Structure 1
Amino acid sequence: MSNWAGLRKIDDGLFAAVTDTYKNLLQFDGSFEDEAGAKSTVEEFLAGKRTAGDIENISKELWAWRQSRLKRRPSEVVLLQRRLPEFAASVPRSQKDITAVFEEAVNTTPAVALSLLKRAIRAARAHGDKEEVENKLREKWALELVAIIQEAELPAAERIAALGNDNHFWLRAFGRRRGKTLRNRARAWKPVRAWLQGSLGISWPVDAGVILRYLEERDEIHRMGKSVPKSILASLSLLEGVGMVPAGKRLCEDPLLLESIKSWTAELEVDQAAPKAAAMLPVSVVLICELVVCRPLYPPGLRFMAFILLVMVWASLRADDMQNVNPASVKLSQVGLRFILRKTKTSGPGRKVGELHGFISRVVGLSGFDWLGEGFKLLTSERFSWARDFLCPCFTNEWDEPKREYMDAEGLALQLRRLLKELPTPVRQMGTWKVKRELLLPGDVANFWTGHSPRHFVVSIAAAIGISKDRRDYLGRWAYAQHGSQDYVLTSRQVVQAIQTTVCKTLLLGGDGGGYIEEELLCTLRSFADDLGLNGEEIVGANTVMQWDGHKQTWLLGGQYPALERVPIAEGELEAKLPGEYEAFEAEPDEDEAPYFLTVSRRGFRRLHLSKRCAVRRERCLETIPVFHLGEGIADAMCKLCKPRVEIGEESSTSGSEDTVEGEQEAIEPEPFGGGLGLGPLAGGLGHDQDL
């Protein structure tokens, strides 16, 4: 500061302004080079504060001060100029290989990895590698969630940073969750994060009240969907779980938030209509698809898609299931078609159910043409038999050539809609089904159905003609895959094919109680077509292929059964003895849901249950409370059905069994109740009827 002393003597106001603007003499020396520049500087700082005469005098003194100072020592600029040759001529650079630097950036920076993943996903689709596409999608959405965890500075971010911050460790932290699950969680949290940053300037909610404020504001702006609150809670639970937030600090366990979410859901369900099941396909669509498959005059892609639709109809498959069928596993014999679903939403590596098998009886058919045989020839032809891990390819608009790139379930659903729009109309002439040129579903009538529609056909008709639920449960769910016994598989095949042939026989020859009646479906179709400005009556007339037989008092297609002469074993055995009780495995526990829940009776009695593993279901109870971690005095009693499973779990955990899954290990910790999970005299407690 001593270098500035002379400037203070000239004028205190100038000194204060200059030292506030210029942090050192080097900067001030460069601000003017002559007496005129000195005057300009003084005018800039003191204009309006001093008279013109004072500014003139101060400018002369400033210039004199600068000259006298530079006579005694060189200016800071000159000093820097003299020292420049002493500085290094080049800047030392890192000796790391540029490839290693790039790989380190990709492996430790989710944002960089995400941009590369998007390109990798496009490349995998183009090469037709379904497994790689799914793995890349899972990695993409996992890294999206990792970015949120790192931004929120949750405990996991510091722990994985200590391990090297490798993205590989992050991907492991998400367990076996599917890419679609991670996608849904990331998309549900995205608007919450945007609101937190825009409204409060934070990246993570500080308490449950922040989430409640968000829900209120979002609903005021636009009415929320009924699933929105639960989706946000599930996303919060996932982020806190993977983020390793301590149990006592997790917002997803806050009773205020949990009860508010239940209140929001109940309120929104009242205001909004219940979800509608996908409409069934009419019999006319199934019939015309058989004719299209068996007519070589149609483009190969149109014939192949008609075959795909028929397989979905008779095997009761979703679009996603269809793309998980391994083409190499499809086999046709005199018994029927058999295939393997390698990996689905509820099966595959790491899940309770491994490979799933699907069957279609050889005698199934409505037209009298061998659609199974012709479709199998198409599948095994040179045009469609290239190696791939998905069944149905994408086709050009002309249906002439398949594209060798992977198409997901949404793409298959849209392609099925394209098929429906181009189907001709079936007509019966001289006892034989033939094809008319007119479109069966003109305009946008095909939008009446969705990708789930084929799955409902056989199941709905089977229910209508009185086939018991324990038999119908084998359609499309393939419960026999829970067991490794080959006898179980063969017996289940008998049941599945028996249902298929019974439905086929009912459609052809009719049945008790009028057979299968399409009147309600066709009436709804007529209204839909009329709303589109089309002739609904004419469209319904084209789709009415079932005729009323006054003598038999039933609706039927007519003709003989079976339409194809095949061995009787292909028909299956509807009364086959089931190998065991059916256990639905589609409702696997969600890794983001609470492992326990409490039922609360009208008297306030609280009973502890295992989620998804108890006969008592939360949705059937008057009041329930989710429990993520057990604590002292959390319940008055334990469920009688759950207690034996817990005790078995305790024994297996003490023996160090490697077969116990992680979720079960958490469910059988004995510490919270002391001396095992027995609750002493309250262990018996009240019966289940008093909980419901």
Structure 2
Amino acid sequence: MKLADTTEERQLVADEERGRWIAVVVALLLLLDCPGRTLALQSADPTRVIGMSIGKTRTSTMRGYLKAWDKFSRWLRLWADELWPSTAARLLDYFLILLDEPCAMSAPQIFWQAFAWLEKAAGYNVDARLSAESSVKQALDFANTALSCKAPPRKQAPRLPACVRASMEVMVVTTAYVMALRYFAWCLLIMNWGSLRFDDIQHLLPGRLRMLGDLMVAELTQTKTTGAGKRVREVPLAIWKGCSLTGTPWLEAGLVMLELVGKLERDFLLPRAHHEGQYFLNQVAKYTDVASLLRATLCQLKTLKLTIAGGWAETSDKLLPEVLCAGFWTLHSGRAGLPSECAMLGFTKSERDLLGRWCPGGSADYTRTYRQCVAAMQRRVVEAHCCDGAANLSEEYDIKDAMATYLGKAVGPQEAETILAAWTASTRSYAQQMIAAHSVEPHGAAGTPAVDRPATPRHPAMQVPADGGPGMDTSYVIIYTRGRRSARLHRTTGGCYWAGIEVRDSEAYKGLPAAGLYDSRCKFCFPEDKVTGAAPSSESGSETDSSDSDAQ
């Protein structure tokens, strides 16, 4: 499917694959004596009726469930000569078989989810489902616990260090590198500053990437929890154009490369690169393709030095040793960078949740809140890297600890200690140069002017309407939504910026209005509620349902 040339061809192949798996489910349920089959046979088209029972299950999820069921059904026929388990004891026996096999740590959980999904599709009521029995759930918990004790600790990909990101910025704007490396370095920086997974960037539409003021904005058409058929169809993305540690305009340079890489009408951001790296093919890049690009990019990064004019220039020295270029950093490394640095700078969890869209909500006002808050956090991180705080951020103890473990296994303790010592000296030198660069008027690499970084507060200042909005000469404002069924209290200063937006249905107050006039308080305007536990309904903050957009 990923190698189809056009969007229409990929959609056609995807529909054909989904149709094949639905046909497997239909054939299975028609063989069983289940309520869904009985009901379907009474209809004019039993096949389509059974297909409707599958609902909005993703094709990949359906594929995994049916593979887990196929393994169980083969065992069930040999064990009890049954097409469908007659009692919950069959499921308990199968859990024991999985524990003795041995199997993957997720195998019992996937099997249980597959069986529960098939029971639902077969039309069984909740009280008649074997998967819902307490003995089955207890056996599942036991199997999961037993396997998790044997499994090694979950490995988390280390984040990208600041010096690596700085070298990538210079690579993007340096035409001496081949197009594939420059464009992929740009995608890695997008993943870092946008807190994106690799799958996320492949659902960014190049034609919808655009500059809106000082932000590059776009919409993610599909993530792990959003997309077609989901409650939230798409979520926003925003990256401040000043997100540059070296002052190079890498963000704008990447937008220029978009048209050189391929057609803007494609529905994926990163195509497959030709093996020479000079151009891209009109095909979606697979994970293996991109993993090789990651290694090639890391191997080509150079150490940076600060010039007399205050700009950055590449040296002839490689930034990373060969052993760290393959296997240490992965395509998951970019997503953890910005949230980790924001945590070190004191941003709350509710603020950091916006970075990775972990609480999307899906409302119209979420897009505005997201862009403003994320831009403020990105600015704060850039400022911290370009002042005396750079020394603290550059220590990156979590990266050094993971690096020590990795190198100890890869090259041995003695050589690992030598590499770590050189790395520590390099990162400290980079931090000192960042402080020095901030103390003089900066100029970008290769003569490119640095991006302007104005001093900004932790949150951007609220814009008060010139024609007199709810934020004019008032202290509080109540904004009504859902046909006045919802009334939320906001502050006009130091809050979530709703007071600075012209809202059709709202009332302004100079003093705190009576509690009976509103039913919730914004968690951004009243952060003290989270500490005292007051106003529990305000946990949704300024994020409301999609009907909020009707209020404007």
What TM-score bracket applies, with the shorter chain setting the length?
A: 0.7 to 0.9
Equivalent-residue separation in structure 2 for 1:216 and 1:225 (angstroms): 14
Equivalent-residue separation in structure 2 for 1:180 and 1:483 (angstroms): 28
Residue by residue, what CA displacement relative to the aligned partner does 1:627-659 show, whole Å, maximum 9, x if unpaired? Answer: xxxxxxxxxxxxxx99xxxxxxxxxxxxxxxx9
Residue by residue, what CA displacement relative to the aligned partner does 1:293-345 show, whole Å, maximum 9, x if unpaired? Answer: 11112111111111111000000011121111121110125502111112222
- Match for residue 518 of structure 1? 396
AA in 2 matched with 1:198:
L
| Cα distance change of structure 1 residues 191 and 555 upon mapping to structure 2, 3 Å threshold | farther
AA in 1 matched with 2:155:
K
Shift, 1:168, TM fit? 4.5
Equivalent-residue separation in structure 2 for 1:166 and 1:372 (angstroms): 54
- Match for residue 681 of structure 1? none
Secondary structure, counterpart of 2:91 in structure 1: helix
Superposed, 1:194-209 pairs within 5 Å as 194-209=74-89
| Cα distance change of structure 1 residues 434 and 483 upon mapping to structure 2, 3 Å threshold | same
Q: Match for 1:149 among 25, 29, 32?
A: 29
| Cα distance change of structure 1 residues 376 and 316 upon mapping to structure 2, 3 Å threshold | same
Residue by residue, what CA displacement relative to the aligned partner does 1:479-530 show, whole Å, maximum 9, x if unpaired? Answer: 5662223xx5334312101111211222232429934421341242143134
| Cα distance change of structure 1 residues 572 and 303 upon mapping to structure 2, 3 Å threshold | farther
Superposed, 1:529-608 pairs within 5 Å as 529-533=407-411, 535-537=415-417, 539-540=419-420, 541=422, 545-547=426-428, 558-560=436-438, 564-566=450-452, 568=454, 573=459, 577-578=495-496
Equivalent-residue separation in structure 2 for 1:403 and 1:544 (angstroms): 41
Q: Match for 1:423 among 282, 290, 300?
A: 300
Secondary structure, counterpart of 1:404 in structure 2: strand
Task: Report the count of equivalent residues.
Answer: 454
1:399 aligns to 2:277 (yes or no): yes
Unmatched 5+ residue regions in structure 2?
Answer: 445-449, 462-493, 499-535, 538-546, 548-552
Secondary structure, counterpart of 1:394 in structure 2: strand
8 Å Cα contact 1:338-1:360 kept in structure 2: yes
8 Å Cα contact 2:161-2:394 kept in structure 1: no
Shift, 1:401, TM fit? 2.4
Shift, 1:569, TM fit? 9.6
TM-score by length of 2: 0.73
AA in 2 matched with 1:577:
G
Equivalent-residue separation in structure 2 for 1:543 and 1:394 (angstroms): 35
Q: Which moved more, 1:463-472 or 1:350-359?
A: 350-359
Superposed, 1:99-110 pairs within 5 Å as none
1:291 aligns to 2:170 (yes or no): yes
Higher-Rg structure is: 1
| Cα distance change of structure 1 residues 543 and 178 upon mapping to structure 2, 3 Å threshold | farther
Q: Which moved more, 1:193-202 or 1:536-545?
A: 536-545
AA in 1 matched with 2:403:
L
Residue by residue, what CA displacement relative to the aligned partner does 1:357-381 show, whole Å, maximum 9, x if unpaired? Answer: 1111111111232111111110133
Equivalent-residue separation in structure 1 for 2:44 and 2:296 (angstroms): 52
8 Å Cα contact 1:334-1:566 kept in structure 2: no
Shift, 1:246, TM fit? 4.0
Residue by residue, what CA displacement relative to the aligned partner does 1:204-225 show, whole Å, maximum 9, x if unpaired? Answer: 2221111111221232232x44
- Match for residue 213 of structure 1? 93
- Match for residue 132 of structure 2? 253
Residue by residue, what CA displacement relative to the aligned partner does 1:446-490 show, whole Å, maximum 9, x if unpaired? Answer: 3123332110000011101211222111102075662223xx533
AA in 2 matched with 1:448:
F
- Match for residue 40 of structure 1? none
AA in 2 matched with 1:508:
C
- Match for residue 278 of structure 1? 157
- Match for residue 530 of structure 2? none
Q: Match for 2:239 among 360, 378, 398?
A: 360
| Cα distance change of structure 1 residues 177 and 508 upon mapping to structure 2, 3 Å threshold | same
Equivalent-residue separation in structure 1 for 2:392 and 2:298 (angstroms): 31
Equivalent-residue separation in structure 2 for 1:203 and 1:392 (angstroms): 45
8 Å Cα contact 1:445-1:528 kept in structure 2: no
Identity %: 23
- Match for residue 186 of structure 1? 66
Secondary structure, counterpart of 1:244 in structure 2: coil
- Match for residue 466 of structure 1? 346
RMSD after superposition: 3.4
Residue by residue, what CA displacement relative to the aligned partner does 1:373-396 show, whole Å, maximum 9, x if unpaired? Answer: 111110133x42342112111112
Secondary structure, counterpart of 2:144 in structure 1: helix
Residue by residue, what CA displacement relative to the aligned partner does 1:593-643 show, whole Å, maximum 9, x if unpaired? Answer: xxxxxxxxxxxxxxxxxxxxxxxxxxxxxxxxxxxxxxxxxxxxxxxx99x
8 Å Cα contact 1:125-1:407 kept in structure 2: no
Shift, 1:415, TM fit? 5.0
More RCO (CA 8 Å, sep 6+): 2
Equivalent-residue separation in structure 2 for 1:144 and 1:579 (angstroms): 52
Secondary structure, counterpart of 1:405 in structure 2: strand
